[in-house]
Chain A
Amino acid sequence: QVQLVESGGGVVQPGRSLRLSCAASGFTFSSYGMHWVRQAPGKGLEWVAVISYDGSNKYYADSVKGRFTISRDNSKNTLYLQVNSLRAEDTAVYYCAKDPYYSDSRTYYCDHWGQGTLVTVSS
């Protein structure tokens, strides 16, 4: 079965950086697009970024463009989110999620989700 396990969260000071990881198993990781979605405490879902199955296409929310970078290592079945210049408003649970379609350079919705990793930005 599909399993997505995020890691790398923690408490970080404003302006610092983190790299979040998402270890995937139970499916052919290299053939599916992947998303990051975040949720601030007590708030709704915010889509953050998406990467196509081969890494050729990447898109970002306006709120993170230029500060966050999505990437993947298909040899390690792992998705990443490099988060730089962190702000208090980046405090959230960060979920990775799988796109549903095989070897499609276009990306769509999220059919499987991880449990999330909490990032807290605080001095």
Chain B
Amino acid sequence: DIVMTQSPDSLAVSLGERATINCRSSQTVLYSSKNKNYLAWYQQKPGQHPKLLIYWASTRESGVPDRFSGSGSGTDFTLTISSLQAEDVAVYYCQQYYSTPFTFGPGTKVDIK
């Protein structure tokens, strides 16, 4: 099984500042023949279901603000919130869908400093 790790476990960022979350997979999630990274990012606000933010490692889901961006390839990935807003307080998860079981990272909690 592919093991997903995230860092940090939590972070506090001032409003308007940048937040960076890292995700690492225990093996590559890059499907070479398709040149696609099978990696998604989700946001879960308190008391709510998860929401898809990013897929194929860097493609923003429709309706997601452009302050959210994803990058990386192979085994190392990053979710960046360029200018943190109050409504971005949430737990963020990465997930690989390269091979079953489709494992999630443990989550990173983002708060306002």
The reply to whether the CB of A9 lies closer than 8 angstroms to some CB of chain B is: no
Q: Are A45 and B101 in contact (CB under 8 A)?
A: no
Chain B interface size, under 10 / 10 to 19 / 20 to 34 / 35 or more: 20 to 34
Q: Are A113 and B95 in contact (CB under 8 A)?
A: no
Chain A interface size, under 10 / 10 to 19 / 20 to 34 / 35 or more: 20 to 34
Alpha-carbon separation in the docked complex, A74 to B50 (Å): 25
Report A97-117 CB contacts with B as 1/0, cut-off 8 Å.
000100000011111111110
The reply to whether the CB of B66 lies closer than 8 angstroms to some CB of chain A is: no
A44: which of B38, B52, B97, B107 is its contact (CB, 8 Å)?
B107
The reply to whether the CB of B77 lies closer than 8 angstroms to some CB of chain A is: no
A110: which of B52, B91, B105, B107 is its contact (CB, 8 Å)?
B52
Taking Cβ atoms with an 8 Å cutoff, the residues of A that contact B are 35, 37, 44-47, 50, 59-62, 95, 100, 107-116
Name 24 A/B residue pairs within 8 A (Cβ), A-sorted.
A35-B102, A44-B104, A45-B44, A45-B107, A46-B104, A47-B95, A47-B102, A50-B100, A60-B101, A62-B101, A107-B97, A107-B102, A108-B38, A108-B97, A109-B55, A109-B97, A109-B102, A110-B52, A111-B52, A112-B52, A113-B49, A113-B50, A113-B51, A115-B49
Taking Cβ atoms with an 8 Å cutoff, the residues of B that contact A are 1, 38, 40, 42, 44, 49-52, 55, 61, 91, 93, 95, 97, 100-107
